[in-house]
Amino acid sequence: MPEIYAGIDVGSLCTKVVILDAGRNVLSSHILRSGGHYQGAAEAAFSGALESAGLRIKEISFLVSTGYGRARVTFSDTHVTEITCHARGAKHLFPHVHTVIDIGGQDSKVIYVNDEGRPKNFVMNDKCAAGTGRFLEVMAGALEVSLQEMAELSFHAQGESEVSNMCTVFAESEVISLLAQGTEKADIAAAIFRSIARRITGLVGKLGLKEPVVMTGGVAKNPGMVRALEEKLRTTLLIPPEPQIMGAYGAALIAAEQSD
Ligand SMILES: Nc1ncnc2c1ncn2[C@@H]1O[C@H](COP(=O)(O)OP(=O)(O)OP(=O)(O)O)[C@@H](O)[C@H]1O
Ligand SMILES: [Mg+2]
């Protein structure tokens, strides 16, 4: 029977699964909200990915779990940190990568990758939701638009508005008072992306930017955030076709290596 590998990334906000065949090709992937119940989310996402690949659990040769809730995946063979997995996934798709910026739901990380695709150093912001996907969701809620609409809006900004608070609660009331003063939603949206870009650039500043830079995590699917970050970092970010599954993809690649 050919070998089949799986990676599961139980993130603080979303759970992702990737299934690979023996040639490291993606057979299926699945993304769902973790919903605070990590074990249940892991089981549901894994079942979803197995179903779309037309596989049964006993056909999986090796399963690696990663992410915030990785230890809750009782059915995995081993678990690995998401820093290692994002580095591995990015390196596989972009062999020349030197820096990976992963912005997820709860934290943002800047990872420096060595020639073997292993992390040699990293910096992260994990104190609060500031500068993360969850922060963006709350701000989109305050603007009463979807994340996609918020990105679109930011491209039409004309004024120079500013959102200075990075604490989610204070930033939300700042946005509400800007709206009350009649500030255009487009200007506020652009200001929100710029404020996060400033914060990430501050993280990068600790160790310097080593190009090429790959962006992973769900926030890489937000074109407003990608553009603001590219402008602030003065670089072009390389984005995988599905950046949100990069941790699970890296975990599945590690699963394949472990069973070699
Ligand atoms: N289609 C989309 N467009 C824009 N943003 C998106 C989209 N899909 C997901 N996101 C963003 O991705 C975020 C979740 O990213 P991700 O799944 O990488 O987080 P996580 O791994 O659960 O979190 P963490 O790594 O911090 O534990 C959401 O908060 C949202 O902002
Ligand atoms: Mg994550």
Asked whether residue 92 is domain-assigned, the answer is no
Nearest ligand 1 atom to the CA of 68 is: 27
Residue 196 sits in the same domain as residue 82: no
Residue 148 has what pLDDT? Answer: 98
3-state secondary structure of 256: helix
Residue 126 has what pLDDT? Answer: 66
Stretch 115-126: mean pLDDT: 91
Residue 137 sits in the same domain as residue 223: yes
Tell the residue nearest (CA) to atom 21 of ligand 1: 11
Residue 254 to residue 259: CA distance in whole angstroms? 9
For 94-107, what is each residue's pLDDT tens digit?
A: 999 999 999 999 99
| CA 149, 151, 152, 153 torsion-angle sign | positive
Is it the case that residue 110 has pLDDT exceeding 90?
A: yes
Could you tell me which residues come within 8 angstroms of residue 82 by beta carbon, excluding any fewer than 6 positions away? 9, 11, 66, 67, 68, 70, 102, 109, 247
Residue 106 sits in the same domain as residue 186: yes
Residue 216 sits in the same domain as residue 252: no
Ligand of minimum distance to the alpha carbon of 104 = 1
pLDDT band at 36 (very low <50, low <70, confident <90, very high): confident
Asked whether residue 177 is domain-assigned, the answer is yes
Stretch 10-26: mean pLDDT: 97
pLDDT band at 243 (very low <50, low <70, confident <90, very high): very high
Is it the case that residue 213 has pLDDT exceeding 80?
A: yes
Question: Is ligand 1 within 6 A of the CB of residue 243?
Answer: no
175-193 burial code (b ≥16 CB/10 A, e <16): beebeeeebbbbbbbbbbb
The environment of the single-atom ion ligand 2, i.e. residues with CB closer than 5 A, is 11, 104
Residue 117 sits in the same domain as residue 194: yes
Closest listed residue to residue 173, CA positions, set 211, 123, 139: 139
Is the entire prediction scored with pTM above 0.85? Answer: yes
What range defines the domain where residue 104 resides? 97-239
For 70-93, what is each residue's pLDDT tens digit?
A: 999 999 999 999 999 999 999 999
pLDDT over 70 percentage in the chain:
98
pLDDT over 90 percentage in the chain:
88
For 43-63, what is each residue's pLDDT tens digit?
A: 999 999 999 999 999 999 999
* Pair type for strands 99-103 and 14-20: unpaired
Residue 69 has what pLDDT? Answer: 95
Residue 114 sits in the same domain as residue 203: yes
Asked whether residue 91 is domain-assigned, the answer is no
Between 217 and 106, residue with greater pLDDT: 217
Is it the case that residue 129 has pLDDT exceeding 80?
A: no
3-state secondary structure of 253: helix
Residue 70 sits in the same domain as residue 137: no
For 136-171, what is each residue's pLDDT tens digit?
A: 999 999 999 999 999 999 999 998 899 988 888 899
Mean pLDDT, rounded, of the chain: 95
How far is ligand 2, taken at its centre, from the CA of residue 137, in Å? 15
* Pair type for strands 78-79 and 62-66: parallel
How far is ligand 1, taken at its centre, from the CA of residue 138, in Å? 13
**How many domains does the chain contain in total?**
2
* CATH number of the structural domain spanning residue 142: 3.30.420.40
Residue 237 has what pLDDT? Answer: 98
